[in-house]
Amino acid sequence: MTKSSRFKARLATVALAVGMGVAVSTVPAQAVPLWEVSGYSTDPSYCQYARGLYGYEQTGSQAGYPTYNAGYQLSAYDECDGDGQGSRLQISYKKYSSASGWYTQGWTTIAKSGQTATADLGLVRDVRLRICAYTTARGIFACGSVS
């Protein structure tokens, strides 16, 4: 079993435990810390929010920086249905390429209102998550940190 598949199995186990209402911060036996994370947009209505699990484990280093195997299972919500706004859950991180070194993956939407996103990012660092308000007229705005 690879490190990546062990990490995915631990993430799934903790997701099940949290879904059942069991408070879990680590899984025994080579524990990978997993956190229940959440956050709200900075829109004054505070209708848009995200919550779920995020975790990582240090795996080594590349070009003088530590690398981490990171993953998440996160959902985006909009509590004010019908107000013309939605939510957008976004991620940004740095990834290593043997051809070009470290590069920044800019803000990318991983879930919209009512959706859940799950991923294993592989070897990354400086992972950031945010939840934003969204309208077709304004696009993405009023982003708040998910931590």
Give me the sign of the Cα torsion angle 139, 108, 93, 3: positive
DSSP code at position 6: H
Q: Do the Cβ atoms of 40 and 131 come closer than 8 Å?
A: yes
pLDDT of residue 11: 47
pLDDT of residue 10: 46
| Residues of the chain under the 50 pLDDT cut | 1-31
pLDDT of residue 33: 76
- Which long-range CB contacts under 8 A does 91-97 form with residues at least 24 apart? 91/127, 91/128, 91/129, 91/130, 92/127, 92/128, 93/121, 93/124, 93/125, 93/126, 93/127, 93/128, 94/124, 94/125, 94/126, 95/121, 95/122, 95/123, 95/124, 96/62, 96/63, 96/67, 96/123, 96/124
What is the overall mean pLDDT for the chain? 81
pLDDT of residue 85: 79
pLDDT of residue 122: 83
Size of the chain in residues: 147
pLDDT digits (tens, 9 = 90+) for 96-136: 988 989 999 999 999 999 999 999 888 899 999 999 999 99
Q: Determine the Cα angle at 27 with ends 22 and 29, to 5°.
A: 150
3-class secondary-structure state, position 115: coil
Cα–Cα distance measured from residue 39 to residue 49, given in angstroms and rounded to the nearest whole number:
6
Strand partners, 118: 73
pLDDT of residue 84: 67
pLDDT of residue 13: 43
